[in-house]
Amino acid sequence: MYIARLQLKNFKSFGGSHELPLSEGFTAIVGPNGSGKSNILDGLRWGLGDSNGGRLRITRQSDLLFQGTTTRQPSKSTEVALELKDGDTSTVIRRRFSDESGAVTLVDGVKHRLQDLSEVKRRWRLDGDRFAFIGQGDVTDAITHRPMQRRNHLEELFGIDTYRKRRDDALNK
């Protein structure tokens, strides 16, 4: 399985539509400071359902919207799409946000709740944000985890967190 394509539309510093073809295996992103390397990873994280402001380096969701430049209008909506590929099988996960409609997640064009996206990610072995992304400071974080944080982290890695979330969901209904 690999991420074959990442499309960023008016996401953070990426005004307009940008298509990033990715190949199977290892991809390196290089560029000067402030050129948007981390924003690409933020796009991947967000596209895969992460809404954590700290990890996405935002204070509110609208910080994801392209803020405009002297030559380009600020954007009212943003969209990230990523195509997952495994042999002949592929799936497109698309996430949109606008101030008016909030965030919407589509898997192959079908609306999904964020909770249901984790099932899709599990199928594609992309579950557990921490499993897919090792960000700056994550290693230090893991060492200094408190017992409960460590448990949550391990539950996420082993996929037990979905069942906890489902149970919590059911109990809250």
Residues near Mg ion (CB under 5 A) = 37-38
Residues 11-30 interacting with ligand ATP (rule: CB under 6 A): 12-13
| Alpha-carbon gap, residue 109 to 121, rounded angstroms | 16
CB of 37: closest distance to Mg ion in angstroms?
5
Check residue 66 and report its DSSP letter.
Answer: -
- Candidate list 1, 4, 22, 37; residue touching ligand ATP; CB under 6 A: 37
Edge-first strand listing for the sheet containing 14-21: 14-21, 2-11, 77-86, 89-98, 102-107, 110-112
Which contacts of 105-112 are long-range, i.e. CB under 8 A and separated by 24 or more positions? 105/49
- Candidate list 38, 51, 77, 98; residue touching ligand ATP; CB under 6 A: 38
- Rank residues 36 and 128 by Cβ distance to ligand ATP and give the closer one: 36
Under the binding rule (CB under 6 A), the answer on residue 109 touching ligand ATP is: no
- Rank residues 86 and 141 by Cβ distance to Mg ion and give the closer one: 141
CB proximity list for 140: less than 8 A, separation 6 or greater: none
Under the binding rule (CB under 6 A), the answer on residue 34 touching ligand ATP is: yes
Place of tokens 């996401």: 11
| Alpha-carbon gap, residue 27 to 154, rounded angstroms | 27
- Rank residues 37 and 145 by Cβ distance to ligand ATP and give the closer one: 37
CB of 63: closest distance to ligand ATP in angstroms?
6
Under the binding rule (CB under 6 A), the answer on residue 77 touching ligand ATP is: no
> How many helices, marked H, and strands, marked E, lie in the chain?
7, 6
Residues within the interface to ligand ATP (CB under 6 A):
12-13, 31, 33-39, 63, 65-67
